[in-house]
Amino acid sequence: MELKTRYMAKDTRYDEMAYFRCGNSGLKLPAVSLGLWHNFGSKDNFDNMREMCFTAFDNGITHFDLANNYGPVYGSAEENFGRILNQDLKAYRDEIIVSTKAGFDMWKGPYGDGGSRKYLLASLDQSLKRLGLDYVDIFYHHRMDPETPLEESMMALNTAVKSGKALYAGISNYDAETTKKAMDILTDLKCPFIINQSRYNIFDRTIEKNGLKHFAAQNGCGIIVFSPLAQGMLTNKYLHGIPADSRIARDGRFLKASDLTEERLKQIRELNEIAQNRGQTLAQMALSWILRDGEVTSVLIGASKPQQIVENLGIIHKTHFTKEELADIECVSGK
């Protein structure tokens, strides 16, 4: 049965959340942001989506992260969040950060993918229509596109901002070298570029190895992290096998049973012991670890139910690690 109760945000919503300045900009993001990559599609329960958004905002999560092709089907996450915004959260729009992206495949033909000016600006117009908004707060180019001149993609982001359809520009899945080039272009254009969204977790250290994490911190670029729980591997979900309701069991598109080798399962169990000794769940520790050194602005969590959001918020004031804990995590993860 569809929820009919009018939503009223809690007066205490800002009491516990920590907010960090995004690069050199004036914008602050919550330590924990909500990603709508999964569980906001056309096949998901709309009332559950609403409850997750309410739970997030009631606890100070002001940033909701989308992309044009989040679903499935493509576009459905934006449509569903747009309904929630306009039915329930409209009065709070100026307290909310809405971000979306374009870069991966979205529609058929040569103009529905990549980094061309035609694709990026057309996609943003479509996203705004689905969201029911005049502007988004952050518009990202979702990936590097070697077939399109970087200048063209950056000038499209500049147009998006200068036209008033986005307040800030961002990039996602860009390495350190290309991030520097993008920053230089956007700086010359006087475009407020503030953030790079990248994959990062205890098992995946790519942004450490390619220098992006340190470069961003030293050069005024915010970093927001996706997949901090390694598609669920850094939770207690797989400690005792593969549950019937897990992502692997449902579709195996992003995380496969073959990823859970005996070596990986051993690492997960040992990391879980470290977390328990810290008084945290494995998921909480993995999220705390992301924010441990102040070089990451915000960590994006996904959720399938409101309680998961509440549990993950337990990290906000527990991001300190002892040298021994950090060394143990490095030893177990093999990094």
Mean pLDDT per 10-residue run, the chain (335 residues)?
A: 74 98 97 97 97 98 98 98 98 98 98 98 98 98 98 98 98 97 98 98 97 95 97 90 66 69 93 97 97 97 96 94 98 90
Domains defined along the chain, listed by start: 24-230+289-318 (3.20.20.100)
Contact 182, 150 (CB under 8 A): yes
Q: In the prediction, which pLDDT does 1 show?
A: 40
Contact 15, 280 (CB under 8 A): no
**C-alpha neighbours within 13 Å on the C-beta side of residue 264:** 17
CA-based end-to-end distance of the chain: 48
Tokens 């012991």 belong to residue: 273
User: What's the chain look like in SS3?
Assistant: CCCCCCCCCCCCCCCCCCEEECCCCCCEEECEEEECCCCCCCCCCHHHHHHHHHHHHHCCCCEEECCCCCCCCCCHHHHHHHHHHHHHHHHHHHHCEEEEEECCCCCCCCCCCCCCHHHHHHHHHHHHHHHCCCCEEEEEECCCCCCCCHHHHHHHHHHHHHCCCEEEEEEECCCHHHHHHHHHHHHHCCCCEEEEEEECCCCCCHHHHCCHHHHHHHCCCEEEEECCCHHHCCCHHHCCCCCCCCHHHHCCCCCCHHHCCHHHHHHHHHHHHHHHHHCCCHHHHHHHHHCCCCCCCEEEECCCCHHHHHHHHHHCCCCCCCHHHHHHHHHHHCC
Q: In the prediction, which pLDDT does 255 show?
A: 72
Please name which of 161, 223, 151 lies closest in space to residue 191, comparing C-alpha atoms. Answer: 161
Contact 333, 252 (CB under 8 A): no
In whole angstroms, give the CA distance from residue 6 to residue 203. 42
Q: In the prediction, which pLDDT does 248 show?
A: 67
Q: In the prediction, which pLDDT does 22 show?
A: 98
Sign of the dihedral defined by the CA atoms of residues 236, 13, 137, 181, in that order: negative
Q: In the prediction, which pLDDT does 240 show?
A: 79
Please name which of 327, 218, 235 lies closest in space to residue 272, comparing C-alpha atoms. Answer: 235
User: What confidence tens digit (pLDDT) does each residue in 23-66 have?
Assistant: 999 999 999 999 999 999 999 999 999 999 999 999 999 999 99
In whole angstroms, give the CA distance from residue 41 to residue 74. 8
Q: In the prediction, which pLDDT does 162 show?
A: 98
pTM passes above 0.85: yes
